[in-house]
Amino acid sequence: EPLYIITPTYRRPEQIPELTRMSHTLMLVKNVHWLVIEDATVATKQVTRLLERTGLKFDHLTAPMPEKYKQKKGAKPRGVSNRNRGLQWIRANATNGVFYFADDDNTYDIALFDEIRKTKTISMFPVGLCTKFGLSSPVIKNGKFVGFYDGWIAGRKFPVDMAGFAVSVRFLLQRPNATMPFKAGYEEDGFLKSLAPFEPKEIEFLADNCTKVLAWHTQTKKNEPSAPLDMKLYGETNLVKLKL
């Protein structure tokens, strides 16, 4: 059964290197369908070209962040319009298998993908964080779920990272109203709550009862876009056209 990977992305100097890294991980995985969704009105040609070169099954879609959130000062709901577009695609095109929200800048162990294929309803597993908390994870004691460990609980029912859960397509299709809210910090919690009714104890805990880290929430240093650095974005074919 297919594994749908929903990846939000947006144009910036780091975009092509991030997607190169991530695509080379996915190229090691069987039966994946990569939904790459850009926060843009027009799909970036260089991204489409990169996707074509991977040989992976993919769809390259666009879903711009609504203007009212873009204008907002402070924390923005990043990747939400993209992920909701991915869910819409799944509702229209998929009948079985599993989907997973995989941001373009994280780091994934290829063993993760065989784990999440096991998902019958909703599964959860640890995510490594490069912070002093080190980890976001369900806590399993003597084989039983006892709670969540996360550096930022903030009143959430499901204090988990975006990279810390997977959902079966059939389970989603039975919940036509499930959606991700445009609410910075509460995207995961809001989406998981929208999949109700289900309780934390019904979750399928993977990665050897949540004892293994197979996904890391890594972040690449942001770089200022500049004319020569844009070569990275435009790709090797434009290099020769650049007059330096």
User: Is residue 18 close enough to count as binding Mn ion by CB under 5 A?
Assistant: no
210 touches ligand UGA by CB under 6 A: no
Phi, psi of 66, rounded to the nearest 5 degrees: -55, 140
Extended beta strands in the chain, E state: 3-9, 32-38, 57-62, 98-101, 107-108, 122-124, 127-129, 135-141, 144-149, 165-168, 204-205, 215-217
- List residues with catalytic annotation: 188
Compute how many residues bind Mn ion; rule: CB under 5 A.
2
Instruction: Write down the least CB distance from residue 171 to ligand UGA, Å.
Output: 20
Distance CA 19, CA 15 (A): 6
CB of 39 to Mn ion, least distance (A): 13
Residue 144 C-beta: closest distance to ligand UGA, Å? 27
Site for ligand UGA in 110-129 (CB under 6 A): none
Does the footprint of Mn ion cover residue 188 (CB under 5 A)? no
CB 178 within 8 A of CB 195: yes
Site residues (CB under 6 A) for ligand UGA, limited to 12-71: 39, 65
Work out whether the CA dihedral 178, 180, 181, 183 comes out positive or negative.
positive
Residues in 192-231 at the binding interface with Mn ion, rule: CB under 5 A: none
Q: In the complex, which residues of this chain contact Mn ion (CB under 5 A)?
A: 103, 105
